[in-house]
Amino acid sequence: MNWLVLYTKPKNEVKVAQGLATAGINVYCPMLTTVKQWSDRKKKVSLPLFASYVFVQVTESQRSSVFDIPGVVRYLFWLGKPAIVREEEINAIKELLSENSYKEVRVASLEPGDSLILKEGVFKGQTATFKEQKGNQTILILSGFGTKLILNK
């Protein structure tokens, strides 16, 4: 079975993933733990890596059953067919999010908008665009995924 991409209502990714899992559908909603700061405190929160998207593994006969879950909007399509995500890509995301996959990164004289090719790690060979350096964090935009990659020192 292939992984398909479901588009959800905003901020409904976790509820949709829980509903799909309860319905017996294999679902993956990658979560990233970040530290949010309010005026009086800091707190670790888990946020979906891809806003408004979850991945599902369904048979052709199960494809319409996902719409029984509140918060599901539609499938993501590419060239008139449901967008398929390969198992290797799902595994790469899982490996990226595992604690042991982070490596030290050094950024030397990059300007916002500069392109670079990642030389090691899960996204080796991928093109990224440098967005900004915030304290101990380097923020890159992965071209192939269209999402932020935040690297901590």
Q: Is there a single domain that holds both residue 95 and residue 109?
A: no
Region 85-97 average pLDDT:
86
pLDDT at 21: 95
Q: Is there a single domain that holds both residue 94 and residue 108?
A: no
More confident residue, 147 or 73: 73
Q: Is there a single domain that holds both residue 109 and residue 93?
A: no
Q: Is there a single domain that holds both residue 95 and residue 117?
A: no
Q: Is there a single domain that holds both residue 39 and residue 55?
A: yes
Q: Is there a single domain that holds both residue 92 and residue 107?
A: no
User: Residue 20, SS3?
Assistant: helix
Q: How many folded domains does the chain comprise?
A: 2
Q: Is there a single domain that holds both residue 112 and residue 70?
A: no
Q: Is there a single domain that holds both residue 112 and residue 95?
A: no
Region 113-133 average pLDDT:
78
21-30, pLDDT tens digit by residue?
999 999 999 9
pLDDT at 24: 93
Cα–Cα nearest to 72, from 24, 19, 112 = 19
Whichever domain contains 79, its CATH number is 3.30.70.940
Q: Is there a single domain that holds both residue 53 and residue 123?
A: no
* Distance between CA atoms of residues 58 and 63, nearest Å: 6
Whether residue 12 is predicted with pLDDT greater than 90 in this model: the reply is yes
Whether 7 contacts 53, CB under 8 Å: yes
Question: Which residue range forms the structural domain that includes residue 144?
Answer: 102-153
* Distance between CA atoms of residues 146 and 53, nearest Å: 13
